[in-house]
Amino acid sequence: MITVNNKTFVPFIEAEAIQTRIQELAEQINQEYADKKPLLVVVLNGAFLFAADLMKHLTIPCEITFLRVSSYQGTESTGQLKQILGLSQSVEGRDLIVVEDIVDTGRTLFDLCDQLQQQGPASLTIATLLFKPEALQKPLDLHYVGFSIENRFVLGYGLDYDGLGRNTPNILVLES
Ligand code: 5GP
Ligand code: MG
Ligand code: MG
């Protein structure tokens, strides 16, 4: 249990279960991209631990690049995708795997993927560690999903609450 800014979070997904699931996703990617050289496009900040652990288990040639978007304040989506920041590499002609921590309303990834598609990648898939099916508001094709979870606010393993709480090996949920 941890407390962040007076909110209490209780254990939700154990570190070991996270690691096992990431290994399974990596194996799936290894098979499906066996003849490709994908570029992982990591959505900072939340996905940094997931991307690192996922990439460790990839045995295919692959590259990684990072960008930032932000649509959240506190524990609720503002629904506004701010500009893509810091994409330092061309994605034209590349096989992109967009790596995200969590898909909630889906607005962030919907807009982001739209903007990436305009740059002419060869293909684009999404790998998200967490997915809240009940919250989804956009038609998003999620190719790799770690865990589908109920519509509650989570933190840990890279995910924050107002900047704090990213530094746990497990995922915790806001106590209801
Ligand atoms: P969406 O645009 O899908 O509504 O929101 C996506 C972004 O909001 C995620 O990438 C993540 O940064 C943040 N987010 C959504 N749900 C949660 C949550 O339960 N916990 C945390 N810490 N961030 C969340
Ligand atoms: Mg995110
Ligand atoms: Mg956040």
Per-residue pLDDT tens over the stretch 30-83: 999 999 999 999 999 999 999 999 999 999 999 999 999 865 555 555 556 556
Q: Global pTM?
A: 0.93
pLDDT surpasses 90 at 19: yes
Mean per-residue pLDDT over the chain, rounded: 92
Q: How far apart are the first and last CA of the chain?
A: 13
Nearest-atom index, ligand 1, CA of 152:
19
> What does the buried/exposed string (b/e) look like for 10-20 if buried means 16 or more CB atoms within 10 Å of the residue's CB?
eebbeeeebee
Query: What are the pLDDT digits (tens) for 93-105?
Result: 999 999 999 999 9
Could you state, in order of their start, the residue ranges of all structural domains in the chain?
A: 15-152
Domain covering 15-152, topology: Rossmann fold (3.40.50)
Pocket test for ligand 1, best of 49, 72, 130 (most atoms within 8 A of CB): 72
Whether the predicted interface score ipTM is above 0.90: yes
* Catalytically active residues, by annotation: 104
